[in-house]
Amino acid sequence: MGLSSVALPKVVSALETKPRLPVIWLHGLECTCCSESFIRSSHPIAQDIVLNMISLDYDDTLQAAAGEQVEEIRKKVMKDYKGQYLLAVEGNAPTKAGGAYCTINGQSFLSILQETAADAKAIIAWGSCASHGCVQNAKPNPTGAEPVKKLITGKPIINVPGCPPIADVMTGVLAYILTFDQLPELDRAGRPKMFYGQRIHDKCYRRPFFDAGQFVEEWDDEGAKKGWCLYKMGCKGPTTYNSCSTVKWNNGTSFPIQSGHPCIGCSEENFWDNGPFYERLSNIPVPGIDSTPDKIGELLTIGTGIGVAGHMAWQLAQRKPNPARQPAEKHDE
Amino acid sequence: MATRVVVDPITRIEGHLRVEAMLDDRNRIQDAMSSGTMWRGIEVILQGRDPRDAWAFCERICGVCTTVHALASVRCVENSLGITVPKNADIIRNIMFLTQMVQDHVVHFYHLHALDWVDVVSALKADPVATAALAAKVSPTWGLASEGYFRDVAVTLKKFVDSGQLGIFQNAYWGHPAYKLPPEANLMAVAHYLEALKWQKELVKIHTVFGGKNPHPNYLVGGIAAAISMQGDNAINMERLNLISGLIDQAADVVENMYVPDLLAIASFYPEWTTCGGGLGNYMVYGDLPQNGIGDVSKFRFPRGVILNKNLNEVLPLDLTDSEQVQEEISHSWYKYPEGKTSLHPWDGVTEANYTGPDLPYKQLDETKAYSWLKAPRWKGNAVEVGPLARMLVGYASGKP
């Protein structure tokens, strides 16, 4: 995060003392892999996030209440924390069949998303579903599934793609927002630069093998056993922006390439339709200077203005008076 | 007059589920229907794709039971193409399958189901000394059971409740007389909710070693992508196997010394719940954990078979290739089959969405018509339950519990 020595106590203090940010976490067309990834976070652990950092007021995967009780909660948070709550979206919304491909309590998910977004302070689009559309948006997209950015306008949206995103990336984005009271810097695609600024290939520990022209050619050849580059097996690391090769997965245990499987590019737009996964990228010179992916990189860094605009929107929302703290829940002692 | 109770969303599950229950004038459930309220059409999206890629699409059917749909998919492709995978691939796939199964059982119990039995707020009234005594009685072999440990959990919980922001625990039925556990049992269960939350992220590292990530580890048609090289430092080697071995030992400790004792202790407060429900009484299991390749069903650790009418004395043979046996039924689902058929073998399967439910927003569904996006499994025309209970019963009845 590029912290100065002055900022460090601020981090500690922010995480320990602020009233917790209300979060409404909606689930649309999805598989819940983002929620599962989220609870795999190792630093901070899920317990600390849910008990000490945010107030996860609505999340149908984890919450105790059900049915009307949870719809009451959603409406209460929208009213009591108007303009102050964070909307986290997992999955996306079907636009065909009048929204009947995803309903909650008889209401279309599309309308729930729109009404909940209206008074949100900002929106986090968790995973490739909410960010780009993901698997249900792949051809022929039978439900007309569309990501958040296609359905919601006028709100800062942070895209945290990946199928799922890395746990510590998810909690890292949240902790940044809570600590600095601002949205992270975003790239043209609305992704936090701190986690999606470079291609997996740029930081891959197998990159020296790519540069040396040493490639896995068969799944069980000597190159596979020696951990050579997986480019010829279809690796999409050269065109995929994510933190897999630095943060790695599950507390740094491994990542797809380290475990011998090519990157399938799950954090990139339309990755399902850009396969087959096991066909090599055809437009990268091998070996040598990878000029083509660099051009892609240039395109992606154009227009950081969107990121700046999102940052400002958060600050403007900040100037509104804070609502009274939520009264204590009634319960029978 | 009968009343109808609607619960939608059903929370603490994966996906979108609605239940409508019809009550008689004594508030007893006479009939109920469950409706899957989401459809993405992955069967349709898969058509025309490279079969080597299919596992990744199928895996995204569920991120909670991540891995199992991918495993089923690679087996389907291998079956179609006549591929036999190496022995090591079968072993690794079995380890990954069991990792998911153990992790999912524990998470389902503590983080999903337990909140129907455990009163989180009641735990505030617990005495840590008495809780430590209770824990020692429930499971003398589980290490984290001191008075100080439970006092720390109680302090964490009190701080959370006093904040006034109850988050995922708000607006629930805390204090309702249907919660039967004493405060100490509730505190112990809350402590283990947190303990299991810390642990579940460890076990899945087995997926990360073999599949590169969790959720959604990578699979490969023909075997497993992760190379094995006992003499190399950039593949599955002794260090990686030691990591896995340690995680398996840790899982055995959690399951045997925390999860199972808690399950038995909590269940003992709710004996009346074992006398209601019961479902259809028909169970169907494909079987799994091949010990001699997927083709040798006789060597499955989880046997294949069907039980009808709760008859545990007879396990009926199941032939997956017989188009008259396993079928997917749609007479109450929002799909259309050709020629007016309502039931098809998966090989003949068709997924054509056909929403005929009420206009949105709606208050209730009609149980006499189609009401769900889920298809329903049939065996020789019998409605059958599939899943973990079926797997356990078929195993038990086959003498392979």
pLDDT digits (tens, 9 = 90+) for A216-225: 999 999 999 9
Q: Helix (H) and strand (E) counts for chain A? A: 14, 9
CB-based burial label for A212 (10 Å; 0-12, 13-18, 19+): exposed
Residue A22 sits at the chain B interface (C-beta within 8 Å): yes
Q: What is the pLDDT of residue B276?
A: 83
A171 touches chain B (CB under 8 A): no
A157-160 β-sheet, strand order:
A54-59, A21-27, A85-90, A120-126, A157-160
Residue of A nearest to B217 (CA): A256
Query: What residues of chain A lie within 8 A of the CB of B168, using their CB?
Result: 50, 56-57, 59, 62-64
Model confidence pLDDT, tens digit, residues B290-347: 999 999 999 999 999 999 999 999 999 999 999 999 999 999 999 999 999 999 999 9
Does residue A5 carry a pLDDT above 70? no
Rounded-to-integer distance, Cα A262 and Cα A280, Å? 10
CB-closest option in A19, A61, A259 to B212: A259
Say whether residue A188 is in contact with chain B using an 8 A CB cutoff.
no
CB contact under 8 A, B168 and A249: no
Which of the residues B59, B100, B170, B236 would you substitute to probe the A interface, choosing the one with the greatest number of A C-beta atoms within 10 Å? B170
Q: Which of A33, A63, A249 sits opposite B208 (nearest CB)?
A: A249
**What pLDDT is stored for residue A3 in this prediction?**
57
Give the pLDDT band (50/70/90) at residue A65. very high
Residues of B in contact with A59 (CB under 8 A): 168
What residues 285-324 of chain A have any CB closer than 8 A to a CB of chain B?
none
Residue B108 DSSP label: I
Residue B53 has its nearest CB partner, among A52, A163, A277, at: A277
pLDDT of residue A305 exceeding 60: no
Task: Give B127: exposed, middle or buried? Use CB within 10 Å, 0-12, 13-18, 19+.
Answer: middle
pTM, 2 dp: 0.92
Q: What is the mean pLDDT of chain A?
A: 88
Choose the closest CB to A326 out of B164, B212, B355: B164
Percent above pLDDT 70 for chain A: 79
* B317/A176 Cα distance (integer angstroms): 57
Structure tokens at B93: 């796939």
pLDDT for A297: 42
Q: Which of B41, B212, B361 sits opposite A249 (nearest CB)?
A: B212
Instruction: Round to whole Å and give the CA distance between A188 and A198.
Output: 13
Q: Could you give the angle at which helices B260-267 and B183-203 cross, rounded to 10 degrees? A: 150
Q: Which of A48, A51, A247 to mutate to test the interface with B (most CBs of B within 10 A)?
A: A51
The pLDDT value recorded for residue A316 is: 57
Cβ-based contacts of B62 with chain A (< 8 Å): 31-32
**Interface check A137 vs B, CB under 8 A:** no
**Angle (CA) A27 A28 A29, round 5°:** 130
The pLDDT value given to residue B401: 77
In the predicted model, residues of chain B with pLDDT beneath 50 are none
Q: Do B360 and A98 touch (CB under 8 A)?
A: yes
pLDDT digits (tens, 9 = 90+) for A191-218: 999 999 999 999 999 999 999 999 999 9
Give contacts of B213 with chain A, Cβ < 8 Å.
Answer: 166, 244, 249-250, 254-256
A interface test, pick of B37, B171, B194 with most A CB neighbours within 10 Å: B171
Residue A241 β-bridge partners: A199
| CA quadruple A59, A61, A65, A67: dihedral sign | positive
Parallel, antiparallel, or unpaired for β A85-90 and A21-27?
parallel
pLDDT value, residue A311: 58
Closest residue on chain A to B8 (Cα): A67
Q: How far is B398 from chain A (nearest CA, A)?
A: 34
Residue A286 confidence (pLDDT): 52
CB burial string B75-93: b at 16+ within 10 A, e below: bbbbeeeeeebeeebbebb
Residues B125, A98: C-beta atoms closer than 8 Å: no
Instruction: Pick B213's closest partner by Cβ from A106, A138, A255.
Output: A255
Which pLDDT score, from 0 to 100, does residue A332 have?
40
CA–centroid distance for B41 within its chain: 22
The predicted-structure confidence for A270-280, as pLDDT tens digits, reads as follows 999 998 999 99
Residue type at A113 in one-letter notation: L
Mind listing the pLDDT tens digit for each residue in B146-165?
999 999 999 999 999 999 99
**Mean pLDDT over residues A121-139, rounded?**
98
pLDDT band, residue A182 (cuts 50/70/90) = very high
Residues A29/A102, Cβ–Cβ less than 8 Å: yes
**Which residue in A34, A249, A329 is closest to B213 by CB distance?**
A249
Buried b vs exposed e over B190-206: b needs ≥16 C-beta within 10 Å? Answer: bbbbbbbbebbbbbbbb
Cβ pair B11:A278 closer than 8 A: no
- Over 90: is that where the pLDDT of A2 sits? no
- Judge whether A33 and A164 are in contact, CB under 8 Å: yes
Closest chain A CA to residue B59: A31
